[in-house]
Amino acid sequence: MRRLALSIAILWCVTSATVNWWLEPRMTSNHAIAQVSSSVVLAGEKNGDSQSIQPPGTSESSSNRSPQASYVGRDACRECHTENHTWHTDHGHHKTFATTDDPNIIRLFEGRSYDSREPYGTFTYHADDKGLFARIPEKFGDRPFRLPYALGSPEGAVTLLSLLPDEKQNTFAIEHRVSWFHDGDELRPTPQEDDRNPKTAADFFGLRHDGRVMEKCVYCHTTRGTIEGETIVDLISGVNCEKCHGPGSEHVRLARSSKTPPKYSIGRDDWDTESEIQLCGDCHRLPVTVSRSQLREYPDELTRFQPIGLLRSRCFVESEGELRCTTCHNPHQTIKTVPAREHIENCIGCHQESNPSHTLCPVNTSDGCIDCHMPARELPGLSVSFHDHWIRVHSSESPSP
């Protein structure tokens, strides 16, 4: 195992040039589908309908791929797609970004304290009507440090983020040193680089990120949002319907006037496997985000990046486009509510006796597939585990404890 790989494993995100392979979303537009399949998302355009309803505050860049459609928010989808809307409400995608005036985030931090020891001291957490803030009483008395944004969800882990101006009035972000973890319901250090050498007051509170790095956090955890000064404007929190399907105003308008609206986005059958893997991989990472040697060695840390594993599985390579993320995942339903049996049935869907074109397992043909062929790995320092999507025979095939 390479040392570099190990040190990278405990970061949420990139912090310096040496590790910038960690995340590299393409960010060519604000909604994912448009990047991977413009023919799909631009369907309304082809329709010849150029009427554009732009709500106030819709910036050019957020809708430049599909000028006549604008964002309407996920609740506009509920009246006709009730089931997907209900599912998505429980998905990590929906909850992965919040402003810290949200009571669900406040209760994770408020009234608590965390001893980060020297050189940082003890953080105490407080909230008012503007949201959460921290103090380090022994260093800065009762001066508050505002932490207005929360990344991650209360079912996993939550890291707080602050935006500040530097001397030249450029914005930088502070990723707070302490995060809340669902596992144990406790505050622990944020997985991040730490040189233990704070130079400014802000450095005491967290790790500094400039420009692109900061924008990428926001890109992957929101549907839309532009950093302007110390705030995020045009913010739509979470990975919601319109992040994957594109702005929905035209679709809603057309669907209200016809039971068979023209094609709007993915979801009908002309959506191909590769485009889908690129959509999910834009955030869950693709081989382009990792170094060539990492790809060759496939260290355990790569299990965090499901598309990379899947792409090298024989199941994927030899099934002629039949296997994709949505073969096993409903993109709207959280995995937390999927019964274990359903995962096994997904495997048996191909690997069964009645299907002579697939091989059968000589060890077990009806159970335990995931434990043996897609084992979960807990990555050091993260206390979050990931299933190895490189589906294969592992050298020691004992089910994980």
| Region 114-133 residues binding ligand HEC, contact defined as CB under 6 A | none
Which one of the spans 139-147, 196-204, 294-302, 348-356 is the region binding ligand HEC (CB under 6 A)? 348-356
- Mapping DSSP to helix (H, G, I), strand (E, B) and coil, where does residue 28 land? coil
Q: Does 251 contact ligand HEC by CB under 6 A? A: yes
- Whole-number Cα distances in Å, 358 to 60, 349, 361, 371: 50, 10, 10, 20
Beta strands per DSSP E along 73-156: 97-99, 113-115, 122-128, 131-135, 145-146, 149-151
Q: Which residues, at least 6 apart from 382, have a Cβ–Cβ distance to it below 8 Å? A: 9, 10, 191
**Choice between 4 and 254, CB closer to ligand HEC:** 254
Q: Which of residues 10-39 bind ligand HEC (CB under 6 A)?
A: 12-13, 23, 25, 32
Q: Does 283 contact ligand HEC by CB under 6 A? A: yes
Q: Does 235 contact ligand HEC by CB under 6 A? A: no
**Choice between 123 and 264, CB closer to ligand HEC:** 264
Please give the full DSSP string across 317-344, using - where no structure is assigned: HTTTT---HHHH--TTS-GGGS-HHHHH
What minimum distance in Å lies between the beta carbon of 135 and ligand HEC?
21
For ligand HEC, which residue of 146, 208, 216, 224 counts as binding (CB under 6 A)?
A: 216
**Choice between 24 and 110, CB closer to ligand HEC:** 24
Q: Does 8 contact ligand HEC by CB under 6 A? A: no
Contact (CB, 8 A) for 119 and 197: yes
Q: Which of residues 297-336 bind ligand HEC (CB under 6 A)?
A: 304, 306-307, 310, 314-315, 318-319, 322-323, 325-332, 334-336
**Choice between 234 and 242, CB closer to ligand HEC:** 242
Q: Residues 138-157 vs ligand HEC: string with x where CB under 6 A?
A: -------------xxx--xx
- Per-residue burial over 361-389, b if 16 or more Cβ lie within 10 Å, else e, is beeeeeeebbbbbbbeeebebbeeebbbb
**Choice between 39 and 200, CB closer to ligand HEC:** 39
Q: Does 44 contact ligand HEC by CB under 6 A? A: no
- Report the 10 Å Cβ neighbour count for 273: 17
> Could you tell me how many residues make up the chain?
401
Size of the site for ligand HEC (CB under 6 A): 115
CA distance 79 to 102: 25
What minimum distance in Å lies between the beta carbon of 302 and ligand HEC?
11
Q: Which of residues 63-92 bind ligand HEC (CB under 6 A)?
A: 72, 74, 76-77, 79-81, 84-85, 88, 91-92
CA Rg value for the chain? 23
Residue with nearest beta carbon to ligand HEC: 156
**Choice between 84 and 116, CB closer to ligand HEC:** 84
For ligand HEC, which residue of 186, 270, 345, 397 counts as binding (CB under 6 A)?
A: 397
CA nearest to 81, candidates 222, 264, 237: 264
Contact (CB, 8 A) for 376 and 386: yes
**Choice between 129 and 257, CB closer to ligand HEC:** 257
- Report the 10 Å Cβ neighbour count for 311: 18
Q: Does 282 contact ligand HEC by CB under 6 A? A: yes
**What torsion, rounded to 10 degrees, do the Cα atoms 200, 202, 206, 208 define?**
-80
CA distance 349 to 326: 14
What minimum distance in Å lies between the beta carbon of 138 and ligand HEC?
26
Q: Does 284 contact ligand HEC by CB under 6 A? A: yes
Q: Does 215 contact ligand HEC by CB under 6 A? A: no
Which one of the spans 100-108, 124-132, 291-299, 359-367 is the region binding ligand HEC (CB under 6 A)? 359-367
Strands 145-146 and 97-99: unpaired
- Mapping DSSP to helix (H, G, I), strand (E, B) and coil, where does residue 44 land? helix
Contact (CB, 8 A) for 110 and 150: no
**Choice between 139 and 295, CB closer to ligand HEC:** 295
Q: Which of residues 364-393 bind ligand HEC (CB under 6 A)?
A: 364-370, 372-374, 384, 386-387, 389, 391-393
